[in-house]
Structure 1
Amino acid sequence: MKTPSIRIEEVTHRYGDILAIKNATFEVASGEVVCLLCPSGCGKTTILRVSSGIERLQEGRIIIDDVIVADGSNSQVSAEKRGIGMVFQDSALFPHLTVEGNISFGLKGYSKNVRREIVSELLKGVGLDSYAKKYPHTLSGGEQQRVALLRALAPNPSVMFMDEPFSSLDIKLRTQVRDDAIKILKDRGVATIFVTHDFEEAMLTADRIILMKEGKIIQIGRPEELYNKPKNQFVASFFGDINVTHAIVDKNEAKTIFGTIKVPFPHGSRICLMVRPEDLFVEELDDSDENYEIFVKEKRELGAYTLLQLIKKSSSDVIFARVLRKNSPKLGSKVIIQLDQPRAFVFPVN
């Protein structure tokens, strides 16, 4: 890994009796995008606020470009001197300033000509070179967010903090603006901490994901690592729909609704088995076959895929499977299901 542009060390932060962050430690390298991912109220935005200097750090250390900018003492580097940029959900552009005026706002100490050159280069890079004299209210939502990013980039920060900056845009525009923004940040070698509660956005955007729960970091890794090798039930369930069932281990085996599986847990222990709908194989049986336990109760077409709701006839257990539309069984048909065991997750239940 490259030398980190920012390092968060053992950061803890409270609001009265509420513990917002507990002992958070991670680092982000130049040109790397790291997503803080978790439900609302878990501490991800608080990490941005104490790292950027908006809020005073209570415990731990923040190091940017090898300089300790905060260590919980009274002496902390102010936000404007940390070499950072920030972009929020609301573009927060100054309505009385033109696009050029907004982008150049943070370029203190530069001559007028140099400021104009920097603004021109930035606007040209995102295809907005003809927008310099326009005002924010004349821009679309996507254009406003691009200008907000350029304003944050203008002082050439080494670290960028982004707090759900694209969530207010429609899906198609969000994808385009997000992809353009990430490319710019990577091309410029900016270490980026990106906050979101959307797991799909995190997987599409991040080099690494930091998944949090109740102020604690639960797992850090590449998107595919968290998806394919979750540390616990919380991580497995966070990345989309998943089937959950419980069983008792009998001589290294457990009988489940998906069949009998091998498990590395002691005899008599209780386990939780989790399987994603796309990791089940579903085969339609002949209507005359009476040796069946499962049938298709509902099905919904999702483009190239079909989401099946399967019911076990001897119980109320519900199973969801996602199959290719061309392989989808008929509604009400009898089926058998097979589990791709290497793709299943088994956790002990305390």
Structure 2
Amino acid sequence: MNMYIDIVGACNLSCPSCPMGNSENTNFKKAMQVEMFKQIVDKASREGVKSVFLFNWTEPLIHPRIDEFVAIINAAGLQSGISSNLNLVKNMEKALLANPSFFRISLSGFYQETYKQGHAGGDIEVVKQNMLKLHEIRQLHGLDTVVEVYYHRYLDNLEEEGLMREFSERLGFRFATGYSVMMPLEKTFAIIEGDASVTATDRETLKRLALPPYEDLVNLVKQFPQQACTLKDDWLVLDCNGNTVLCCTIFNQAEYSVGKYLELPVQELMSRKSTQKNCVDLCSRCAKNGLHIYSTQPNKGPLESHAVNRIIDFQRRTILEMPIDSEKLGRSGEVSAEQFDEVEYLRLNDDVKTAVAIGAFSSGYQHYVLFGRLEGRLGAGFSTMF
């Protein structure tokens, strides 16, 4: 069993697909006390918890004593983890020097114009500088923390994914990707049920998603076989006041609290998730719409295929709508078939690689000739034509 704890009640960014950016925050906004946290970890280690991650909705590097939190987890013999947007530097070094098992960097672009849409209020150049600092600290002190860069995929940021992958891997960081989904669960409900609380900003964000919770997607996830919800059954989620929350996808933590973690055995807390009326009602509503599948499996099977189809449609529409530079319509400056670097082109353009894999294009070179040369795609090689 894994435990996820918001050790603070705030975030420095206002990302539009996250409740910290798209919902009113009525949760506790204070910082968790270290003394309370130590008691929580002591109890968790006795109750079979294997990992404690210092995040759910908020930014853990805000907490000035984050290094002590990591040290407490490590001393208990548990796996420790941090996830950060890495726009803050103040507590970054001491957090890493505490040697967490896992440090994730969450981002959504390589250039600022793209990045600021998914990580509103952030600066990707600051993030890159902090990534370099993390690399230097890890090298200097011989730390074994696994640093992972997690790239949130949107329809319009795929062509920058290869650049961030290359940048990350050169620093020795692990690189992972996933399609962004609209959270929290309350917001997703509002969208699929046509609630008036869905804002114009929400609708703009939905246009960028490969997996917006529209009717076609909801009909798809409803067809999945009935299955247990791992988010409810396998995860313990705590707010910064030590309350146990039904699920990590819920933002209204006070309404869906099942009790103080330090006051009840874990078996009782987990049982309440399946017996407390408001929790049962919410879970039934979620499962009816297949949203537990939407939350847990956006990068697998039919949902991945659904996302890829939307990406191809988006790319085709974008190409039809984009202004064409008449000078590029000729073959001047084009990389020839003999000079074309198929491997490098696919490596730097993950969306093209996916499109080739599913048969939308016969090769990277076909994409380049039809579209890539007009888009200024990287990785084709060098032209010998003048």
Question: What is the TM-score of this pair, normalised by structure 1?
Answer: 0.28
TM-score by length of 2: 0.26
